[in-house]
C-alpha cells in the first residue's frame, strides 16, 4: 500500500508533459494473445468470479499509451527543492486553497473531529495533488493501468496488482471500468489514490452510500484524513523543524530519511539537534533541502512528516504540503498576513505553527 500512493503522486507532477492527442493513441490488437494477459484474466475469473468474456471485451477496448512509458522514470519530485517548490507555494494556490477551505468547511471540520487531521493539511494535499480537484486526470484509468501493467516490466507486478484492485473497485462501486478517469499513472480522484488505496482508505463522509472521490469533495476530504490517521498522524503535532548539524554521521542518516528509527535524544548523540526544543523521545528523521544551487538546509521530520511521506516518499513533496498548509492557515485566519515565504523557512505568524 505504501508503494501505491508514493508512486502515483511522484508520477502525478509530470502529467502535464504527457501528450494525450489522439494521434499518439495506439490500439494494441494483440493484447489478448499475450500469455501474461491471459494469465491475468484467468486469475480474475478463478479468484474473483469475473466473467471471462466480459474481461475479453474490456481488454479489446484497451488503448496503448506509449507516451506514459516515456515519463515514468522522470518524477518531478527529483528536482532540487528551489525548483520544485515554485510550483506549489504560490499566492494563487493559497487563494484557491482558502476558497476551497471556506466552501467545504463543514466537511473539513468533520474530518478533523473524526481523525485529528487539520483542515490546512487536507487542503494542502488536495492542492498539491490536483489543484483542489480541478486536474484529477484525463486518461481512462483502464488505458493507463493496462499500458503500465503489461508494457513497463520494471513495475509490471505492482501494476498488475493495481489493475486487479481497479476491477474489484469498479465492481464494488458499481462503476463501468471504461468510464473512470485517472492520472497517467492510474491514480484516481481529487486525492489521487491508487485503486488499492481507494479500496482500503476511501470513506463515505457525506453518508450518501457512495465513496466518490471524484465528484464529492466531502468524500475526498474524509478519505485523505482517514489515510493519514492510519499512518499515525498526531493531532496538534508539528511536521518538521530546522536542525543544527555537527560531526560526520549526517550522510548516513540522510540515506535513511523515510524511516523513524531514532529519537531526538538519539540523534543528538550523533550531532543532529533541533533548533527548537522538542521532547527527547520524539521519533524523527533527518533530511536536507537545497534552497539555492549549492546551498542546503538540514531539517528534522517528525511523526507527521513520516505520515506525509507515506502518501509520497519525497521530502520535497512533504515539505511542499507542510509549507503550503502553513500559508493556508495564515491566510484563512488573517489574509493580510499571507505573504509568500522567501525560502523553505515557514513564514512568520502569530501563534503556533501549523501542524
What is the model's pTM?
0.85
Q: Is the confidence at residue 337, as pLDDT, over 60?
A: no
Inform me whether the pLDDT recorded for 42 exceeds 60.
Answer: yes
pLDDT at 14 over 50: no
Residue 197 scores a pLDDT above 50? yes
pLDDT of residue 28 exceeding 80, the answer is: no
Q: Enter the C-alpha cell of residue 31.
A: 493484447
The confidence score (pLDDT) of residue 268 equals 97
Alpha-carbon gap, residue 277 to 264, rounded angstroms? 10
Assess whether pLDDT exceeds 90 at residue 355: no
pLDDT of res. 336: 67
With a cut of 70, say whether residue 230 has pLDDT above it.
yes
Please give the distance of CA 247 from its chain centroid, rounded to a whole number: 34
Query: What's the mean per-residue pLDDT of the chain?
Result: 89
Task: Write out pLDDT tens, residues 251-284.
Answer: 999 998 899 999 999 999 999 999 999 999 999 9
- Per-residue pLDDT, 335: 67
- Please determine, for residue 51, whether its predicted confidence score (pLDDT) is greater than 80: yes
Model confidence at 19, pLDDT cuts 50, 70, 90, reads: very low
How far is it, in rounded angstroms, from Cα 324 to Cα 319? 8
Band (74; pLDDT cuts 50, 70, 90): confident
What pLDDT score does 70 carry? 86
Taking 70 as the threshold, does the pLDDT of residue 211 lie above it? yes
Mean pLDDT for 198-207 is: 98
Task: State the pLDDT at residue 24.
Answer: 47
Q: Is the pLDDT of residue 349 over 80?
A: no
Please compute the mean of the pLDDT values over residues 306-319 and round it to a whole number: 96
Residues above pLDDT 70, as percent of the chain: 85
- What would be the CATH architecture of the domain defined by 2-76+134-200? Orthogonal Bundle (1.10)
Residue 76 confidence (pLDDT): 63
Inter-residue contact 272 to 298 (CB < 8 Å): yes
In tens, the pLDDT along 89-143 reads 999 999 999 999 999 999 999 999 999 999 999 999 999 999 999 999 999 999 9
Pairing mode, strands 181-182 and 283-292: unpaired
Q: Does residue 196 have a pLDDT over 70?
A: yes
How many whole angstroms separate alpha carbon 231 and alpha carbon 78?
24
Q: Where are the domains of the chain?
A: 2-76+134-200, 240-301
Which pLDDT score, from 0 to 100, does residue 73 have? 74
- Count of helix runs (H) and strand runs (E) in the chain: 16, 9
What is the mean pLDDT of the segment spanning 235-258?
94
What is the band of 2 on the pLDDT scale with cuts at 50, 70, 90?
A: very low
Helix, coil or strand: residue 75: coil
The set of catalytic residues is 129
Rounded CA gap, 126 and 119, in Å? Answer: 11
CB atoms within 10 A of CB 231: 18
Q: In the predicted model, is pLDDT for residue 30 greater than 50?
A: yes
Answer yes or no: are the C-beta atoms of 305 and 322 closer than 8 Å: yes
Percent of the chain predicted with pLDDT > 90: 81
**Which cell numbers in the block locate residue 278?**
522538542
Amino acid at each position: 500500500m505504501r508503494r501505491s500512493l508514493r508512486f502515483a503522486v511522484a508520477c502525478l507532477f509530470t502529467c502535464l508533459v504527457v501528450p494525450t492527442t489522439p494521434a499518439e493513441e495506439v490500439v494494441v490488437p494483440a493484447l489478448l494473445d499475450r500469455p501474461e494477459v491471459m494469465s491475468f484474466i484467468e486469475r480474475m475469473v478463478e479468484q474473483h468470479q469475473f466473467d471471462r468474456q466480459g474481461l475479453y471485451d474490456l481488454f479489446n477496448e484497451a488503448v496503448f499509451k506509449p507516451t506514459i512509458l516515456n515519463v515514468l522514470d522522470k518524477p518531478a519530485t527529483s528536482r532540487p527543492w528551489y525548483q520544485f517548490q515554485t510550483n506549489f507555494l504560490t499566492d494563487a494556490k493559497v487563494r484557491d486553497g482558502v476558497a476551497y477551505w471556506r466552501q467545504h468547511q463543514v466537511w473539513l471540520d468533520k474530518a478533523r473531529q473524526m481523525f485529528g487531521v487539520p483542515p490546512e493539511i487536507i487542503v494542502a494535499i488536495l492542492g498539491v495533488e490536483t489543484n483542489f480537484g480541478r486536474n484529477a486526470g484525463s486518461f481512462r484509468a483502464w488505458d493507463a493501468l493496462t499500458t503500465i501493467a503489461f508494457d513497463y516490466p520494471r513495475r509490471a507486478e505492482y501494476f498488475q496488482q493495481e489493475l486487479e484492485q481497479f476491477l474489484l473497485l469498479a465492481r464494488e462501486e458499481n462503476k463501468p471500468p471504461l468510464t473512470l478517469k485517472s492520472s497517467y499513472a492510474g491514480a484516481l480522484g481529487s486525492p489521487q489514490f491508487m485503486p488499492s488505496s481507494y479500496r482500503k482508505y476511501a470513506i463515505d463522509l457525506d453518508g450518501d452510500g457512495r465513496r466518490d472521490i471524484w465528484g464529492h469533495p466531502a468524500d475526498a476530504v474524509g478519505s485523505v484524513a482517514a489515510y493519514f490517521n492510519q499512518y499515525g498522524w498526531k493531532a496538534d503535532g508539528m511536521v518538521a523543524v530546522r536542525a543544527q548539524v555537527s560531526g560526520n554521521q549526517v550522510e548516513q542518516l540522510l540515506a535513511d530519511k523515510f524511516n523513524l528509527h531514532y529519537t531526538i535524544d538519539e540523534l543528538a548523540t550523533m550531532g543532529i539537534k533541533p533548533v527548537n526544543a522538542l521532547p527527547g523521545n520524539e521519533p524523527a528523521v533527518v533530511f536536507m533541502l537545497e534552497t539555492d544551487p549549492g546551498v542546503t538546509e538540514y531539517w528534522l521530520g517528525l511523526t507527521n512528516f513520516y505520515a506525509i511521506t507515506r502518501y509520497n516518499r519525497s521530502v520535497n513533496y512533504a515539505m511542499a504540503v507542510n509549507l503550503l498548509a502553513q500559508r493556508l492557515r495564515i491566510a484563512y485566519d488573517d489574509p493580510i498576513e499571507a505573504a509568500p515565504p522567501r525560502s523553505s523557512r515557514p513564514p512568520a505568524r502569530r501563534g503556533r505553527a501549523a501542524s
